[in-house]
Structure 1
């Protein structure tokens, strides 16, 4: 009889395969000019909790200084710092209200800001703008309260007459609603094919004018 050789003992020192590390996904980068982050879904109502974007910056120009506080409704897919930077860049652009109104805009997070710019879900916009009927679709600005409320749905999709140029529409939205805060009322298109005054209700229609986002185009 042949006795089989004993099986070799397992080598305790043999290398054990190490699973490859799972790469950590890069966080989404906020879109310059809008602050939008990642996949954007427009929720109709996020409950109305507003978060002040921290930060201070002096007014860059001469004229009457109006301090601006930017607020974002909790739950919106928005980087507040990028949004605030875009809002102040729009307001302090040479094509903005500095020429017509002799103003310049500083940034603040303080309670005594002279202007609040709020980005909110459609239902919260309706509540903040009441008794003005914004119908879940529109925005508002109020010279008495000093608040400009920007409807997040419009911020994402723009308006029909602006087509694919959502970036210019966002500049229009900031300038138009802050224009109300500064005391400007609505205007009409002066003639077909003319450049629309910024206070035309271009979220609804440019009325035959060429869409425009600036007080001084």
Structure 2
């Protein structure tokens, strides 16, 4: 059935349309308010999460973890370019002096002649001989002996004796460097017991034990060159008539004629009969 146009309620339609518009506006305002509130809530929650999970400076945990991650040694640039610290060098120990136990019993005479040293009226010529097979270079040994007897602290300072190295002809004595066995054998001809350890002066022979020549003495504080000087000065001292002496007093230099290998009696080690100033280093007489 068709409605009669004359009776259509036009005002009613307008009122209905206006009501719909009002309703739509209310819904839009509600949606806007809800959206703003939601953003505010999310902002508050995000800030709380930020504070709970960030580091003390406000850095998020993820960033802090990235910064604090330990770099493995293989990835570290310093490890790749910096060599490890070098270990401290181990000091090389001083070589142990060679001590030859047994020679051949034969000797090589050094073929060398030296100048006269000293101004004493008594010229004492000497030869240097080294037993074969004991590992001592004869020429070097002769030079060392010559230097010792040429030193102004040696016996030339007494004003009575002078010395000269010779290879042949007449001579006053021979300096022989030999194995302990040979030294013992030759020293025993004069009734001396050297026990494989010490030196002696017998029958125009200054016998030098190669063990002492190479190693010195545990009682002597000083380099091996000084102990060699003591050996020569002591035994040559016997050659020119000097006898044994004792320590003159605690802290004083031990006389060259003291048997220092047996102890210093409070003296200090010394290899020379005279001081640099020409004073003779004496002490009480000993057998």
TM interval, shorter chain, is 0.7 to 0.9
Q: Which has the larger radius of gyration?
A: 2
Query: Is residue 141 from structure 1 mapped to residue 201 from structure 2 by the alignment?
Result: yes
Correspondence 1:152 to 2:210: yes
How far apart are the structure 2 equivalents of 1:172 and 1:40? 18
Deviation for aligned residue 1:69: 0.2
Please give the residue correspondences for 1:174-193 in structure 2 after superposition, counting only pairs within 5 Å: 174-193=232-251
Question: Which one has more relative contact order, counting CA pairs under 8 Å at least 6 apart?
Answer: 1
Question: Is 1:77 matched with 2:135?
Answer: yes
Distance 1:80 1:39 in 2: 20
Shift of the alpha carbon at 1:45?
Answer: 2.5
Structure 2: state its 5+ residue gaps: 1-94, 276-287
Matching of residue 51 in structure 1 with residue 111 in structure 2: no
* Aligned pair partner of 1:60 in 109, 117, 124: 117
Q: Is the 8 A contact 1:159 1:204 kept in 2?
A: no
Give me the whole-angstrom Cα distance separating, in 1, the residues matched to 2:97 and 2:228: 16
Conserved? CA contact 1:40–1:77, under 8 Å = no
Residues 129 and 66 of structure 1: CA distance in aligned 2, closer, same or farther (over 3 Å): same
Shift of 1:44: 2.6
Query: CA offset at residue 156 of structure 1?
Result: 0.8
Moved more, 162-171 or 186-195: 162-171
Q: Which runs of 5+ in 1 are unaligned?
A: 1-37
Q: Distance in 2 between matches of 1:39 and 1:53?
A: 26
CA distance in 2, matches of 1:76, 1:58: 28
Q: Indicate the RMSD between aligned Cα atoms, in angstroms.
A: 1.7
Classify 1:117/1:101 alpha carbon distance in 2 versus 1 (closer, same or farther; 3 Å). farther
Aligned residue for 1:90?
148
> TM-score when scaled to structure 1?
0.77
Deviations 1:113-167 (Å, cap 9, x if unpaired)? 102100011111101111200000000113xx22111110011110112235211
More helix by share: 2
Return the TM-score normalized by structure 2: 0.59
Match of 1:42 among 81, 99, 102: 99
Structure 2 residue corresponding to 1:166, chosen from 224, 248, 254: 224
Give how far 1:206 is off: 1.9
Match of 1:108 among 151, 166, 174: 166
Quote the Cα distance in structure 2 between the aligned partners of 1:165 and 1:132: 28
| Maintained 8 Å contact 2:247/2:267 | yes
